[in-house]
Chains A and B, each alone.
Chain A
């Protein structure tokens, strides 16, 4: 009988992906809602509207779309980060995180290709969007994709710590 080992490469990548992406998503959401770079601390409304300016700078969405993204994305990032950490229904949340990461990657590549002189807006810091940002987002999107694919593959196997089947 074939049995999956508890310590294989796929499981390691799922764990790395969960921890790395959860940390990044939670911090990204927190920094947009609370703007730790601004002192004294602004109101949440002002912080979210500042993030709206950064979303707007990508020149992708109409004003209502900018407002929708700016007022939902930071909370969604925090929620998804915690759901990845917990691991409950991992395949669903990993798929959503992957779609979001691919969306970020597409937006960053487009802006870089158009030569837009803007800030990334990823962590609410004045970080210019450069080729480094493109590679970073590509790496994170690839990690999210691998985590999701491996989560689906591993879910089809018996749990490594489950009791062996009787023949």
Chain B
């Protein structure tokens, strides 16, 4: 599953907090499903690209999931004041946030974000969140939030094919 997501998008927050957490616990951690976060920062969101940079930098240190959770859970705060750095710093140790800041300032992360964005355009993603399911050569593009109950039934159908 590839989830094209924007850290400043409220629907992406809903998908992450209500569905994808349970998905990670029940399908990803058991190895049934691979879940890939793809950055798709929408131009209308002022801070989403900055947030994507921090999340990518944290992922390079193995802290991607913790930072993703912090960014989504505190979305209303940092989208008001733009303090992405403070939000991320709250869940990392001092040496970790120093490394993350260095990576963000290094300017090399935008290429990876742009690559995700370009991939989204290949799949004709035009809104977030968009989830692209891949199973046995099949590709199912789906836009919007989904409840865990229905997603679980869909995944079980795919896995039983």
Q: Chain A's nearest CB lies how many Å from the CB of B51?
A: 18
Q: Chain B's nearest CB lies how many Å from the CB of A48?
A: 8
B110-142 near A? 1/0 per residue, CB < 8 Å: 000000000000001011111000001111111
Query: Which residue from chain B places its CB closest to the CB of A57 in the assembled complex?
Result: B144
Chain B interface residue count, Cβ-Cβ cutoff 8 angstroms: 29
Q: Chain A's nearest CB lies how many Å from the CB of B19?
A: 10
Measured CA separation A39–B141 after assembly (Å): 12
A-B CB contacts (within 8 Å), total count? 77
Please, which residues of chain A bring their CB within 8 A of the CB of B146?
53, 56-57
Q: Across the interface, do A54 and B142 meet the contact criterion of CB distance under 8 Å?
A: yes
Q: Across the interface, do A118 and B161 meet the contact criterion of CB distance under 8 Å?
A: no
Q: Across the interface, do B157 and A117 meet the contact criterion of CB distance under 8 Å?
A: no
A interface residue count range (under 10 / 10 to 19 / 20 to 34 / 35 or more)? 20 to 34
Please, which residues of chain A bring their CB within 8 A of the CB of B129?
117
A36-73 near B? 1/0 per residue, CB < 8 Å: 00111011011001101110110100010011000000
**Contact pick for A56, options B11, B147, B158, CB 8 Å:** B147
Please, which residues of chain A bring their CB within 8 A of the CB of B124?
126
Q: Across the interface, do B145 and A59 meet the contact criterion of CB distance under 8 Å?
A: yes
Q: Other CB < 8 Å A-B pairs besides A57-B145, A118-B144, 12 of them?
A: A40-B136, A52-B154, A53-B151, A53-B154, A54-B144, A57-B143, A57-B144, A59-B145, A66-B147, A117-B128, A118-B145, A128-B126
